[in-house]
Amino acid sequence: MRVAVHYLPIVLIVIVWEAVSRFGIVPTRSLPSLTSVVNAWIELVASGEMLANAAASIWRGGAGLAIAILVGASLGIAMAWWRPLRMLVNPMVEALYPLPKSALIPVTALWLGFGDASKILLIFLACMLPVTLGAFNGARGCEHVMVWSARALGAGRLRVLWDVVVPSALPELLNGIRTALALSFILLVSSELIASRNGLGYLIGSLGEAGVYDAMFAAVLTVAFLGFISDRVFQRFSQWVLRWRA
């Protein structure tokens, strides 16, 4: 019930959308009616096109993000723990941070072609930054008395990293991962629009070029929905992981 109330504004937009196109206020060329979009969506699913392209996209996004999380989290925590690494990596992070990551799309395409690998590399490179920064800041914020506690209770130096530094870093790390998740969708779709022969981004682009606008909208909505769901699920997961917080 509360969920229904929460998303009421979206229901309103959907109603307005349907009304606007049905009464011809906006030409269906620019905004196809919701019913035709839904029909197009069903057709895309039935033909297997939707699933094939979605699978390709999810694989790329998931793989890129997973590697980014693994490498970024390890790197960030190692940087907090070990000064020389921090001095080596920090300037690179600072230099890369303001770069619009979409500028790398042609670069990774040049290196690795139009297939999965270039997308995975792109998403990995871009998503690693917020994850690394989150892990780094979180680990640096770890109170030293907490580390001392663990040491005095018999934990070895390295063990403390896993037992104390990692959990202390979790709140900021999860925040970084959430940013990375959003970033991965942006880069996934834009790279597939520009340099790909399949995937949801490619589907949107090719349907748009072919003038099949209701199907194009169906693909756009699918991406939006996937982005929304993954963020919600991730938020839930974060809340569960951080259930110890007040």
Partner 1 sequence: MIEVEGLSHTYRTPDGRAVSALDNISLTVAEREFVALLGPSGCGKSTLLYLLGGFLPIERGVIRFNSTPITGPGPDRGIVFQHFALFPWKTVRGNVLYGLEKMGLPRADREARAREFIEMVGLSAFADSYPSQLSGGMKQRAAIARTLAVDPGTLLMDEPFGALDAQTRTQMQTELLRIWRRSPKAVVFVTHDVQEAVYLAERIIVMSARPGRIKAIVDAKFDREDPQLVRTQAFRDRVDEVWALVHDNTAEAR
Give the footprint of partner 1 on this chain (CB under 8 A). Answer: 143-146, 148-155, 163-164, 167, 170, 243-246
Rounded least distance, CB 2 to partner 1, Å: 24
| Residue where the block lists tokens 């990375």 | 180
Is residue 245 classed as helix, strand or coil in its secondary structure?
coil
Q: How many CA atoms lie within 13 A of 124 on its CB side?
A: 15
Crossing angle for the helix pair 49-81 and 116-140, nearest 10 degrees?
Answer: 40
Rounded least distance, CB 138 to partner 1, Å: 12
* Shorter beta-carbon distance to partner 1: residue 95 or 152: 152
The angle formed by the CA atoms of residues 173, 162 and 246, to the nearest 5 degrees, is: 50
Task: Please give the structure tokens belonging to residue 169.
Answer: 């870093």
Distance CA 221, CA 244 (A): 36
* Shorter beta-carbon distance to partner 1: residue 165 or 189: 165
* Shorter beta-carbon distance to partner 1: residue 14 or 143: 143
Rounded least distance, CB 43 to partner 1, Å: 49
* Shorter beta-carbon distance to partner 1: residue 6 or 245: 245
Rounded least distance, CB 83 to partner 1, Å: 15
Tell me the CA distances in angstroms from 28 to 12, 116, 205, 207, 209, one per residue in order. 19, 35, 19, 16, 16
- Contact between residue 191 and residue 183 where contact means Cβ atoms under 8 Å apart: no
Task: Please give the structure tokens belonging to residue 4.
Answer: 């229904």
* Shorter beta-carbon distance to partner 1: residue 81 or 213: 81
Rounded least distance, CB 151 to partner 1, Å: 4
